[in-house]
């Protein structure tokens, strides 16, 4: 009996959060069109997200590309199909690993920081201070970050695709001894523009999603420094899990 009640409660919390997050996203999107245009803040947040995340994203992509090449090779060898390694690695990266891993790394590096920063602004009344100076806090704090993430996360994804494929090439050609020409040719045969773009489109969604969740959790933080910590943890968990779940949904529906 009591076994299911935490699940029920979690489900209710989820519905409540989901509604709040969507409304929050909608508002920050709408406020794009109310002046002033906060272009400088937008640039600043692009820099923040990019600078904080690019190295981790690059490292993650490199090693994922390398290990994917090993694993795929292991499977392909069983029926002598190792020549398509280049294509399979590139497809895996552009369609799945690139966007998902980049987004999760951005959550870890920049998303958590955003959540903590906005959370501490909430509890030290800086958000109230914005309001009483007749500045809309969502328009000031969230809208520029939303656009920044929707641009930077796809850029990071494109970078991850490239580096990951390079990692796969390194292992495939230099270690596993697949011919350079074959590796590249199979890749060119198998990967179409739509494969790359599907990953990029997903990453635009992930960027918007993760930054909305992280801002939302920080924005409604309460209960002192401890509350900010709790908000940050929740933001990271919800965005990461949400990215994986929505990746599944988006992939089955559209891509």
Partner 1 sequence: MLEIKNLRKSFAGFQVLKGVNLTIPKESMTFIMGGSGTGKSVLLKHIVGLLKPDEGEIWFEGQDITKLSERELQIVRKKIGLLFQEGALFDSMTVFENVAFPLVEHSRMSSKEIKLKVEELLQAVELLSAKDKFPSELSGGMRKRAALARTLALNPQVILFDEPTTGLDPILQITIMELIKKIKETFKLTCVVISHDLILALKFAEKIAFLHEGVVVEEGDPEKIRHAAHPFVRKFVESALLDKKFETKEVEHEL
**Cis peptide leading into residue 47 (ω within 30°):** no
Which residues within the stretch 7-26 sit at the binding site for partner 1 (CB under 8 A)? none
Q: Contact between 136 and partner 1 (CB under 8 A)?
A: yes
Q: Contact between 131 and partner 1 (CB under 8 A)?
A: yes
Residue from 30, 135, 225, 237 touching partner 1 (CB under 8 A): that is 135
79 CB contacts (<8 Å, ≥6 apart)?
none
> Are 202 and 101 within 8 A, CB to CB?
no
**Region binding partner 1 by CB under 8 A among candidate stretches 63-71, 87-95, 119-127, 147-155:** 119-127
**Region binding partner 1 by CB under 8 A among candidate stretches 10-18, 123-131, 172-180, 199-207:** 123-131
> Are 142 and 219 within 8 A, CB to CB?
yes
> Are 131 and 251 within 8 A, CB to CB?
no
Which residues within the stretch 141-170 sit at the binding site for partner 1 (CB under 8 A)? none
Burial of 68 (C-beta count, 10 Å sphere; 0-12/13-18/19+):
buried
**Least Å distance between CB 97 and partner 1?**
34
> Are 210 and 115 within 8 A, CB to CB?
no
Residue from 1, 133, 249, 253 touching partner 1 (CB under 8 A): that is 133
Residue from 13, 22, 37, 125 touching partner 1 (CB under 8 A): that is 125
The DSSP H or E segment spanning 172 is: none
**Region binding partner 1 by CB under 8 A among candidate stretches 15-23, 128-136, 184-192, 224-232:** 128-136
The SS3 of residue 136 is coil
**Region binding partner 1 by CB under 8 A among candidate stretches 125-133, 180-188, 213-221, 245-253:** 125-133
132 vs 193, which CB is nearer to partner 1?
Answer: 132
Which residues within the stretch 79-98 sit at the binding site for partner 1 (CB under 8 A)? none
106 CB contacts (<8 Å, ≥6 apart)?
49, 53, 57, 149, 152, 153, 156, 207, 210
Cα 199 to Cα 185: distance, rounded to the nearest angstrom: 21
**Least Å distance between CB 38 and partner 1?**
11
Q: Contact between 117 and partner 1 (CB under 8 A)?
A: yes
Number of residues that bind partner 1 (CB under 8 A): 15
Q: Contact between 126 and partner 1 (CB under 8 A)?
A: yes
143 vs 240, which CB is nearer to partner 1?
Answer: 143
Residue from 15, 22, 67, 128 touching partner 1 (CB under 8 A): that is 128
The SS3 of residue 105 is helix
The SS3 of residue 31 is helix
Question: Where on the chain is the footprint of partner 1 (CB under 8 A)?
Answer: 36, 117, 120-121, 124-126, 128-129, 131-136
């Amino acid at each position: 009996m009591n076994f299911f009640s935490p699940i029920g409660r979690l489900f209710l919390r989820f519905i409540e959060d989901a509604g709040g997050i969507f409304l929050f996203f909608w508002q920050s999107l709408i406020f794009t069109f109310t002046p002033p245009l906060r272009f400088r803040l937008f640039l600043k947040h692009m820099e923040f997200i990019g600078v904080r995340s690019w190295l981790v994203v690059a490292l993650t992509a490199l090693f994922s590309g390398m290990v994917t090449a090993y694993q795929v090779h292991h499977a392909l060898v069983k029926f002598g199909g190792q020549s398509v390694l280049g294509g399979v690695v590139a497809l895996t990266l552009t369609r799945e690993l690139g966007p998902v891993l980049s987004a999760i790394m951005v959550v870890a590096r920049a998303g958590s920081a955003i959540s903590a920063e906005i959370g501490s602004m909430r509890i030290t009344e800086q958000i109230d201070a914005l309001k009483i100076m007749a500045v809309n806090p969502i328009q000031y704090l969230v809208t520029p970050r939303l656009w920044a993430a929707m641009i930077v996360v796809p850029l990071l994804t494109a970078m991850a695709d490239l580096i990951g494929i390079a990692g796969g090439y390194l292992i495939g050609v230099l270690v596993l001894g697949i011919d350079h020409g074959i590796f590249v040719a199979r890749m060119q045969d198998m990967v179409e523009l739509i494969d790359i773009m599907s990953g990029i489109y997903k990453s635009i969604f992930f960027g918007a999603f993760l930054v909305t969740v992280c801002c939302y959790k920080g924005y409604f933080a309460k209960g002192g420094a401890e509350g900010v910590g709790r908000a940050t943890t929740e933001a990271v968990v919800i965005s990461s899990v949400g990215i994986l779940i929505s990746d599944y949904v988006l992939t089955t529906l559209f891509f």
